A = this chain, B = another copy of it.
Amino acid sequence: MRKSKQLDSLFNPKSLAMIGASTSTRKWGFLILLNILKAGYKGTVYPVNPKLDSILGFKCYPNVADIPDQVDLAVITIPAAMVSNVIDECGKKDIPNIVVITADFSETGLEGAKLEKEIADKARSYGINLTGPNTMGIFSAESNLHALMPMIMPLHGKVSMFSQSGNVGVQMLDYGLQENVGFEKFVSSGNQAVLSIEDYLTYFANDEQTDVILGYIEGLDKNSDFTSVAAEVTRKKPVLVMKGGRTNVGGSAASSHSGSMAGSTAIFRAVCKQTGIVEACNTQELIDCAKAFACYPLPKGNRVGIITRGGGWGVLAADACEENGLDVPELPRYLIREMDKLLPKYWNRKNPIDLVGTIAHDPLPQCLEMLAEWDGVDAVLALGAGFRAFSYQYSEEVKGPRELTDAMELLKEYLKERSRQPDEILVQVANMVSKTGKPVISVSIGSDYAHKKYSEQYGIVSYPTPERAVRVLRHMVEYSRYLKTSS
């Protein structure tokens, strides 16, 4: 396997020089510094700017050479033409890592490419790990390091991501905030003058804080060892990838964007199949997969048990399962007999199990448990499990005659009583997952947005549509099968 570069001090630097630090709110040297400070970076910050004495309360240094201590990381935002000299200064100061935020290198033409080769050669000669240029920066939850251009505070979690587009990468961090997916480390790989996605992939594979690796890839170098690296990494951790530049027009856009040769999509797809990479077919699927792979055990096979509060969602989930190569096996007699005791006489006695809507009594918790424990299924979809029967807000004011107000009060009491139940179900689902070792995925929307937070709290994976849940399950099943058959 590729020799792992020592990137620990890149992502977890004890000290950091911000070269190009500024007090102007319209400069990246201000905004990135603010991000770093605001996020509560655990190390020491040394702003570097020859024109200023102090910035944001920190003593400012004219040059990295003047910094009295060891510096683990330099973040550079000064104009492109000045970067090369600063690399020398960093080299002489024995700074092991540099992130060059500055753009206008190889992505903009021949002149920039020449400049980029110059800084890359210099960095290599000093043994410097250089990220970028033309990067949106890096993030590490472990060190509270937010050396990022966009003012985003990602959720912290177990997912680490490399991205050949800062834009797509940051959108994923932003989706993470929406969808409750927490990130551990993130790097926008920029022009990859020195460090490449293969380096980050290898590093994340060995990083104990990382459970799931996400990647956005536009293209691979001719001489890339991505395939052999990926084949080793996927044996340790899932690698979930989105490929940009899959088509002629997309590839053309990619070539002017990241300068990548998009290459053949068919070949890339074959690489994924061969190496066990999970290829998401859109960005939403990528974040959806990240959520489940980070929280849940893999299913041991492709047999899915479905339980639903409403017939229609059961039908749609079953359709999606069959269309995605998942089995929806028939219920065994013993299970039907047991559920006969809990459900109205006319229940459907099939998988998907259609719970017949009742107000007084909720058979879901018991039926769900029986279904999850049945050894005929490898995964369970619980449709409407987190669903609160009623979407009114308790606090909502009702106008009307006194009797209507009274009725609403009555109802509020009743709803309060019932509203404890979804929480109980969520605790139960969490227990079920650890007891059975099977993923139990909840599908539940939204009037009940609070459910999302509860899910997060209890470590439950939930999606707003049955189809999204099934797509994720398909990828989990395929990865699980890959691990079994390729060993």
Tallying the copies of this chain within the complex gives 2
- Whether A166 contacts B312 by the Cβ 8 Å rule is yes
Stretch in A68-76, A92-100, A201-209, A244-252 with 4+ CB within 8 Å of B: A244-252
Within 8 Å by CB of A177, from B31, B315, B447, lies B447
Within 8 Å by CB of A315, from B112, B245, B312, B464, lies B245
Stretch in A3-11, A291-299, A401-409 with 4+ CB within 8 Å of B: A401-409
Within 8 Å by CB of A346, from B109, B258, B401, lies B109
Q: For residue A150, which residues in chain B have a CB less than 8 angstroms away from its CB?
A: 389-391
Inter-chain CA distance A282–B404, complex, in Å, is 39
- Asked if A354 is an interface residue, CB under 8 A from chain B, the answer is yes
Q: For residue A250, which residues in chain B have a CB less than 8 angstroms away from its CB?
A: 315-316, 318-320, 322
By CB atoms of chain B within 10 A, which of A170, A247, A318, A446 has the most? Answer: A318
Q: For residue A449, which residues in chain B have a CB less than 8 angstroms away from its CB?
A: 178
How many A residues touch the partner, as a band?
Answer: 35 or more
Question: Given A165-B310, A401-B56, are A174 and B446 neighbors across the interface (CB < 8 Å)?
Answer: yes
Question: Given A350-B252, A404-B56, are A322 and B247 neighbors across the interface (CB < 8 Å)?
Answer: yes
Stretch in A20-28, A119-127, A366-374, A474-482 with 4+ CB within 8 Å of B: A20-28
Inter-chain CA distance A354–B256, complex, in Å, is 9
By CB atoms of chain B within 10 A, which of A55, A309, A407 has the most? Answer: A407
- Asked if A167 is an interface residue, CB under 8 A from chain B, the answer is yes
Residue of B nearest to A56 (CB): B403
Stretch in A82-90, A228-236, A427-435, A465-473 with 4+ CB within 8 Å of B: A465-473
Inter-chain CA distance A57–B401, complex, in Å, is 7
- Asked if A348 is an interface residue, CB under 8 A from chain B, the answer is yes
Question: Given A37-B400, A38-B400, A56-B407, are A167 and B282 neighbors across the interface (CB < 8 Å)?
Answer: no
- Asked if A114 is an interface residue, CB under 8 A from chain B, the answer is no
Inter-chain CA distance A234–B449, complex, in Å, is 35
- Whether A178 contacts B445 by the Cβ 8 Å rule is yes
Q: For residue A360, which residues in chain B have a CB less than 8 angstroms away from its CB?
A: 26
- Whether A253 contacts B350 by the Cβ 8 Å rule is yes
- Whether B258 contacts A167 by the Cβ 8 Å rule is no
Q: For residue A57, which residues in chain B have a CB less than 8 angstroms away from its CB?
A: 401-404
Q: For residue A465, which residues in chain B have a CB less than 8 angstroms away from its CB?
A: 282-284
- Whether B56 contacts A311 by the Cβ 8 Å rule is no
Q: For residue A314, which residues in chain B have a CB less than 8 angstroms away from its CB?
A: 253, 257
- Asked if A328 is an interface residue, CB under 8 A from chain B, the answer is yes
- Asked if A65 is an interface residue, CB under 8 A from chain B, the answer is no
Question: Given A151-B392, A178-B445, A328-B249, are A257 and B315 neighbors across the interface (CB < 8 Å)?
Answer: yes
- Whether B249 contacts A311 by the Cβ 8 Å rule is no
Q: For residue A108, which residues in chain B have a CB less than 8 angstroms away from its CB?
A: 346
Q: For residue A267, which residues in chain B have a CB less than 8 angstroms away from its CB?
A: none
- Whether B401 contacts A178 by the Cβ 8 Å rule is no
Quick one: CB contact mask for A429-453 with B, threshold 8 Å, 1 for yes? 0000000000000000111010000
